[in-house]
Amino acid sequence: MVALIVAVAAAVSVYIFIYYNFLKGVKCKSDVSLNGRTVIVTGANTGIGKETALDMARRGARVVLACRSKDRAEAAVLDIRRVSDNNQVVFMHLDLASLKSVRAFAETFLKSEPQLHILINNAGVGLVGKTEDGFSMGVGVNHFGHFLLTNLLLERLKQCVPSRVVVLASETYRMVGLDFSKLSRTEPGHTNGFLDYAHSKLCNVLFARELSNRLEGTNVTCYSVHPGVVNTEVFRHLNRWLMLILVPVAALLFRDPEGGAQTSIHCAVQEGIERFSGRYFSDCRVREVVAHARDDAVARKLWEFSERMVGLSPRVSAVDLNPSSHRLLFSCPCSCLCPFQTSLMIIIISGVL
């Protein structure tokens, strides 16, 4: 019995050591005030987005929660106002799975809000399905929706410099090389939630890189961030068997949303990081990305392709849609997030591979 107690105590001690030294992540150390500044956080009704919005509100900012669910967002507004003692927290409807909704949000915001200093593209999904415009759900929401939103708000950001754009990415970007045929509108049955999510995260990294190149000299800076392995609702639509596997693992090994929000917060407020515009951050530090995520030619091609897909450019450029010209690093034939894919994703974003 004594031996069992000692073994349990030792296991708990090892877990605590590993969690606080390797899994929990670091905290943003900046105490910058955001009084008089306006911030948009997409997907801010729960998880990382809500914690990010709460931090912005505590710093005195006017915070716009750009969310799809009115009920959940309004509940989050009340909660953030209460905790932060800041009544300048509001909800505006935004459904990133609809380009029409993105345009409507931008029009409403620009008419009602005279300033924008920080745009945090936080919202994300990881599920099979199609958007209103025919894109796979992961790519449509995580990349195309945010791409259009950012472009529609760029002039306001330029008018309110210094300003910043933060794009929530993920270490899953490592898993795929960019395949433009995976980004165009899809037919039923031809989506893979795992690969769509990874593709969207690679797009996020390349988008921030090209956006920085285009904004050089404007005093608008942008950053892509990896939040860590966080226990959020991004994969809440997985089947119940996968949830049975993930829930206990997430409870033990994943960061909580507050910990996951720290790098987004760091890139939104930390002074002195402007020279790292376009770079990728993790644990509140700039990190080097793998070769296929720092190719400026590919980033530029993705930008032009995305302009055409969301209707910002009428040009029909000759885009190479041959998937054989792009490298797929990991593959699985499943059309959903299977246990193999889930395990592989967790391993890679944990930094093991």
Q: Is the dihedral of CA 271, 276, 279, 283 positive or negative?
A: negative
Helices of type H across the chain:
2-18, 47-58, 70-84, 99-112, 137-139, 146-159, 193-214, 240-253, 257-260, 262-269, 296-310, 339-349
Beta bridge partners of 167: 121, 224
Residues tagged active-site: 197
- Of the candidates 116, 113, 215, which has an alpha carbon nearest to the alpha carbon of residue 156? 116
125: left (phi over 0), alpha (psi -120 to 50) or beta: beta
Phi first, then psi, for residue 271 (nearest 5°) are -75, 150
- Answer yes or no: are the C-beta atoms of 267 and 240 closer than 8 Å: no
- Answer yes or no: are the C-beta atoms of 15 and 94 closer than 8 Å: no
Q: Is the bond leading into 114 cis (omega within 30 degrees of zero)?
A: no
Per the structure block, which two tokens stand in for 203? 């797009």
Per the structure block, which two tokens stand in for 47? 């998880």
Per the structure block, which two tokens stand in for 251? 């409870």
Per the structure block, which two tokens stand in for 293? 């995520």
- Answer yes or no: are the C-beta atoms of 68 and 145 closer than 8 Å: no
Q: Which amino acid is at 111?
A: K
